[in-house]
Amino acid sequence: MSWFKLSTVSATTPLRLRPLEIGDLLDETFRMYRRHFVLFAGLSVIFAIPTAAVTGFTLYTLFNTVLKPGSRVVIEPTILIWYAGFLLVTLALVPFQYGAVTYAACESALGRPVTLSGVLQGVVRRYFPLLGYMLLISLMAIAFCLLPLWIWIWVGWCVVMPVMFIENVGLIAAMGRSWRLVQGRWWRTLLVLFLMFVVYYVVSLALRAFLALGQALLQLVLSQLVIVWISAATSAIVDSLVYPIVQIAIVLIYFDLRVRKEGLDLFQQAQRISPPLPAP
């Protein structure tokens, strides 16, 4: 992977705005991911590394202290300190993990050049609203006993991040804006998101099955504990390679909702055909 390719992506043609049927949305999602694969995958993997380390470390510790036959359940204080440190780092990187690819997809859809420094600056400007949004969604998933209620609210807020980045608004305004855009299109939005998560799950499962073959060979030369750590860490990395599909699709859902409800495509066409203003 070239660092230059990860750092800079030249300006591209803006997304051609039009009502996207489900097949068109899926096709455009994969087209955008292929076009900027190094950037999207690189951003996602970089910020998923701490999560992979925490996952691998947690399973390694549990296997070594709890699941290993004949072992006593004793967790050293040092391990708890390391684990707490990993969790804090992972929590601090959550806005980058979920916001970086979304910001890059927004800039790409607008036809703007995407750079690594620009992505980092864009996420830093919205760091606390992004962190608040992700924590709120996570806490709601834990606090709500009824999963359908959480799904209903989350679908209504699914385009909060594109709204924040593109329309330059805060969290509360973005939540209200997302709710109004999805209103009247809730079932269609749910169907699109469901299909994207199915694609995400199937692709992740296929990649994990491929990696499982390699791990089976490693069992011949490495201990079971090391294999557990490697398996957990690689699973997190695989998820990070596939998850940009969902993030890009959410950005496209945002534009599709604006086209259908606000005629954004007509505004884009008017800008293209309008004659340039004469020089003063």
Q: Give per-residue pLDDT as tens, 110-122.
A: 888 888 888 999 9
Q: List beta partners, residue 114.
A: 9
Q: Which residues contact 97 (CB under 8 A, 6 or more apart)?
A: 44, 47, 48, 51, 240
- Model confidence, pTM: 0.81
Contact 236, 55 (CB under 8 A): yes
* Dist. CA 163–CA 88, nearest whole Å: 27
Q: Which of 2, 4, 9, 7 is nearest to 114 (CA)?
A: 9
CA angle 238, 239, 243 (to 5 degrees): 125
The reported pLDDT for the residue numbered 4 is: 41
Summarised one tens digit per residue, pLDDT across range 49-79 is 777 776 666 666 666 655 555 555 555 667 6
* Cα-based distances in Å from 121 to 100, 104, 127: 10, 11, 9
